[in-house]
Structure 1
Amino acid sequence: MTDQDSAQERVLTAAREQFGLDELRPGQLTAMTALATGRDTLAVMPTGSGKSAIYQVPALLLKGPTLVVSPLIALQRDQVRSLRHLEEDAVSVNADKSAGERNASFQALRDGEAEFLFCAPEQLARPDVLEELKATRPSLFVVDEAHCVSAWGHDFRPDYLRLDAVIEALGHPPVAALTATAAPPVRAEIVRRLGMRDPVQIVRGFDRPNIGLEVRHARGAKQTDKQDDKQDDKQDGVAEAARGGGTGIVYVATRRETAEYAELLSSLGLRATGFHGGMSRRDRERVQKAFMTGELDAVVATSAFGMGIDKPDVRYVVHADAPGSLDSYYQEIGRAGRDGAPARAVLCYDPDDLRLARFFTGGVPDAGDLARVLELVREAGKESGQGTDRRALAAATGLSPRRVTSLLNLLQQAGAVRLSTRAVVPVPREESVPEAAEEARRLAEEHRDVERSRIEMMRRYAETHDCRRVFLLSYFGEDMPGPCGDCDNCRTGRAGGEEPETPGPFQVHARVEHAAWGGGEVIRRDPDRLTVLFDTAGYRELALETVLEQDILRETPG
């Protein structure tokens, strides 16, 4: 028996005896075995496919406790409760815990009484927490909802961007990154951000065939700019979906709209309320509990609602405003139909929604600000030999702490500084401060271009006359043999029958090279166009005739 076979046997035994899992789902055994043998692992699997078991089973085979980074306190509570139900000891450390409770949690880990510790990334930025964790010698580092490294890190949860420093400070135990949603660029960013070493990547099942896909175009969106007409049509779309019955979620772009659409649904006799990140924690928890227990028919929410909400019988998810990417859209519509019964995902589309999203991606940091911050970091390194901290940099530059954090993240990507949990340290480099600042600015431009390409793919999804499911799956790098038959384009006959494979070069998954955009991979090939995911320029659509006539792409070895 090989070492791999032996590891699989131990995993299967632990899964069966400790968790009652007599049969594992596709992808689980590969991921569990990789972690049990010390390999970093990225698992992208749909909700309900057993992602939690992927780390829970090997955790029992590795000597030392397991640290689980989880974004929400409510989600941590659910995970702790689930493990205790299985008679596995688990504790959590978060802002709600008293000093005594925190100390008791760490003592339980040191004494071997608890195997699992759950915490938010912000807790790991505290030096006292990191020292306590070092003493426990974790054997497994888990990042749950790992897409937050990409989706939230730049704007909302900067501590996700420093998890790599925490992992290294703990001696780089095997890393498990788990998420239900990650397109190829997000997967690459997760691996890079977490400093994962040659990770095993398991990607399974983006298709949710029980969710019917539909787009409603705001009336007059292409003919007029009359906002009243567009808003009326969006409200009609929301109302129509809600009248279909069952529990639903309506996503909107602004806090003001949460109240407006909740009032609309209430006027239809539905029990509806709004939800957004500006509400108090108590009010947010009240709404979440009412939704989960069936006291509400619908919640109208910004994107702040949904993570950790695992309600099986959501019958519809409506977007009154188009989100800025298919990544966000797929994450949010995936909260429908988790019981496997038919559900609907309706997008009320107005191109102006995406113009606003594009506007918010326009900012690129000033090279002067980057240079000022880097100069201060280098000066502090010369004087103290230990670097400086973000608070001192903010005070010296007059920039906000959030702005300084954003600049430092870019400088770290450029290899000019190293961010630990305590300090900012310069990295010895031959390049000058202006050269390093310009490199960091270039990286910011690349990120902006990728974000804009995601917005463009959201527009293409909304405006396509082809099968929406085929389009959506191809975005995530998954093939589908033909039209689904259950999206609005298929039902109305616009998508047509199954297209025969088009012969010729640049087939799906072919590696290509472009003179300006560099290397990439063909993710979709239509009779008249190619969709290519470039490594640094994001998603681009190219007219196939132009590609062939002007020889602007060449295939490269995969």
Structure 2
Amino acid sequence: MTEVGAECERVARQALGLTDLRPGQLAAMTALARGRDALVVMPTGGGKSAIYQVPALLLPGPTVVVSPLIALQRDQVEALRERDEEAVSLDAGTPAGERRTTFESLRAGETEFLFCAPEQLAKPDVVRDLAAAGPSLLVVDEAHLISSWGHDFRPDYLRLGAVAEALGRPPIAALTATAAPPVRAEITERLGLRDPMEIVQGFDRPNISLSVRRMLDDPAPDIVATVREETGPGIVYTAVRKQTHRLSDLLTDAGVRAAPYHAGLRRAERDDVHGRFMAGDLDVVVATSAFGMGIDKPDVRFVLHAEVPGSPDAYYQEIGRAGRDGDPARAVLFYRPEDLGLQRYFTASVPDLETLTEVAQAVAEAGAGTDRKTLSTRTGLSPRRLTLLLDLLERTGAVRLSARRIEPAPDAPAPGTAADRARRLAERRRDVERTRLEMMRHYAETDDCRRRFLLGYFGEQLTDPCGNCDTCLAGTPERRQEETGPFPPHARVQHRTWGPGEVIQRGEDRLTVLFDTAGYRELQLDAVLEQHLLTETSPS
């Protein structure tokens, strides 16, 4: 073991009380302590917090932790303070005097950890004050949100690469519980990670039973009946806010202590529901995807989905909130094919050419540069909308973004040309998102082992059926022989139309391929071989 690794083990033992580190933890800690970036994919409860806390205590200078939820930030601050570590959180409600004291404490070396949402780092004065404190580590929690472009998109995650540069480019720790290969690649690109140590551990959660119930009518009565059969707390996910209230009322009428949760509620209401659920005063939270991120409640016994989610990424993230104590838990998807239309609606939006051209023109006319507030006022666009459009234009080479300024890129294309390229990028992104939804449909309709399907999507191969899903209990999956022949998992391939890609799964009669620009596609193996649709370009 290296000297740095031994020092990480010592700090983990003395400061955090960790005598046995889990697989991957020490490698990630050591990389960060040496100044190397790290991308860590581990289940919640798998020890991701320790991965940044140990090097934070070894490196000189404070640690900035970007976390999407205020409630989660407060939980982490409280946990650190219980171990006599100085930690603070910063949000929109922090008084000006407290902000000044916080930054003074960071500069003086009296506070090690600062937690904040990405929206706080959109403020130039916050970035300036943090840079003056000389942070030694930037932690991006729930890093998969960089790749989430749906209705719950957090655009300020896209700016964190520029924020890191403005902070003096400390080592970056990107942490998430769920990230398929393309999401990991996008995290690396968007954050500007430099030769990151990539640790991917433990996608499989064998204690969670998986099942799908095909529904012809409203699933609400079945959901209520299922909840009443359960013991212990649980979460019911639904795609729209109105349904959270309806299902919560139905459960309450059935004698279940339930409450709705969605982003449209006042912050005090959301905090109240979160606190009651964590304290055991609620049996069920009926929520949109706004609830649960980073919630480390070990005894959640079930997660139900009233509609199909938009991707296996979102589904696995949400069901992973069950059974974190290792005891048996259930994940049930109530599936109606017509519900796929709602998710297609969520991915349908593409920026119009006129608005993209207007933004590109405004940046070009600014010459020496402008700031986001001025540009938002000039274009009449909300900060959220503007951030998304600027990201697209940056990727076309039209604009150059930093934490404080927006300026035309050298040799920028004409605004109309840039807008056309940006729209094509957005269309391609939409099409890829729809292939993820198609993979979710395959999961709901497969008669193969559901766990094998999900793990394959994330790049892990499972030969034997899991024995803990409804298809396994029905006896429909079969043990797969070790596949031989062309196109094994992880092989790089080339398609005549869809271009380069990587084989994600290889079954007896079909391939699932993730194409770089066309997303996930399922191909019949016989057709691939007979028509020479794929060429293997590298060994697996």
TM-score range, shorter chain: over 0.9
**TM-score, normalised by the number of residues in structure 2:** 0.96
1:403 equivalent in structure 2 = 385
Q: Distance in 1 between matches of 2:525 and 2:293?
A: 40
Aligned equivalent of 1:475: 457
Quote how far apart the aligned CAs of 1:430 are: 5.8
- Do the aligned residues in 2 keep the contact of 1:272 with 1:296 (CA within 8 Å)? yes
- How do 1:60-99 residues align onto structure 2 when only pairs under 5 Å count? 60-99=57-96
- 8 Å Cα contact 2:37-2:194 kept in structure 1: yes
Q: 2:59 & 2:376 partners in 1: Cα distance?
A: 42
- The match for 1:421 among 390, 393, 403 is 403
**In structure 2, C-alpha distance between the alignment counterparts of 1:392 and 1:114, rounded to whole Å:** 34
The size of the alignment, in residue pairs, is 539
- Which residue matches 2:361? 375
Partner of 2:169: 172
Alignment of 1:147-296 (within 5 A): 147-151=144-148, 156-219=153-216, 230-231=217-218, 233-296=219-282
- Which amino acid is the alignment partner of residue 363 of structure 2? V
Q: Secondary structure in 2 aligned to 1:516?
A: coil
> Who is 1:297 aligned against?
283
1:442-467: CA deviations, max 9, x gaps? Answer: 22122112101110011000000000
In the superposition, relative to structure 1, how do residues 353 and 331 fare at CA in structure 2: closer, same or farther (>3 Å)?
A: same
- Asked whether the equivalents of residues 155 and 387 of structure 2 are also in contact (C-alpha less than 8 Å), the reply is yes
**Alpha-carbon distance in 2 for matches of 1:314, 1:178:** 22
Counterparts of residues 469-548 of structure 1 (less than 5 Å): 469-495=451-477, 497-548=478-529
CA deviations on 1:187-210 (whole Å, 9 max, x unpaired) are: 111111111112111000000000
Q: Are the equivalent residues in 2 in contact too, given 1:125–1:421 (CA < 8 A)?
A: yes
5+ long unaligned stretches in structure 2: none
Is contact 2:8–2:54 with CA below 8 Å preserved after alignment? yes
User: For 2:27, which of 30, 34, 43 is the aligned residue?
Assistant: 30
- Whether 1:462 and 2:444 are equivalent positions in the alignment is yes
Deviations 1:497-544 (A, max 9, x none): 302234320111111111222211111112221100112221111111
Which blocks of at least 5 consecutive residues in structure 1 are unaligned?
220-229
Residues 442-453 of structure 1 aligned to structure 2 (within 5 Å):
442-453=424-435
Output the CA distance in 2 between the equivalents of 1:255 and 1:14.
Answer: 45
Normalised by the size of structure 1, how large is the TM-score?
0.93
| 1:345 aligned onto 2:336 | no
Partner of 2:109: 112
Instruction: Map Cα deviations across residues 454-502 of structure 1 (whole Å, 9 max, x no partner).
Output: 100110000000000000001111111210011000001122x302234
Report the Cα distance in structure 1 between the residues aligned to 2:27 and 2:396, rounded to whole angstroms.
34
Alignment deviations for residues 201-243 of structure 1 (CA, whole Å, 9 cap, x no partner): 1000000000000000013xxxxxxxxxx10x44314422432
* Aligned pair partner of 1:132 in 109, 129, 134: 129
What is the percentage of aligned positions where both structures have the same residue? 63
Deviation at 1:246, TM superposition (A): 1.9
Structure 1 residues 347 and 466, CA gap change in structure 2 (3 angstroms): same
Shift, 1:551, TM fit = 0.6
Shift of 1:249: 0.8
Distance 1:177 1:154, change over 3 A: farther
Q: CA deviation at 1:19?
A: 1.8
AA in 2 matched with 1:355: G
- What amino acid does structure 2 have at the position aligned with 1:521? E
Deviation digits for residues 409-468 of structure 1 (CA, Å, limit 9, x no counterpart): 101122221222322111112643333322222221221121011100110000000000
Instruction: Report the Cα distance in structure 1 between the residues aligned to 2:228 and 2:313, rounded to whole angstroms.
Output: 24
Please state whether the residue corresponding to 1:149 is helix, strand or coil: helix
Q: Separation in 2 of the partners of 1:248 and 1:24?
A: 30
Identify the residue that residue 53 of structure 1 maps to in structure 2: 50
Partner secondary structure for residue 235 of structure 2: strand
Q: Secondary structure at the match of 1:100?
A: helix
* Contact 1:32 1:55 survives alignment (8 Å): yes
Does the CA-based 8 Å contact 2:239-2:307 persist in structure 1?
Answer: yes
Question: Counterparts of 2:423 and 2:185 in 1: how far apart (Å)?
Answer: 20
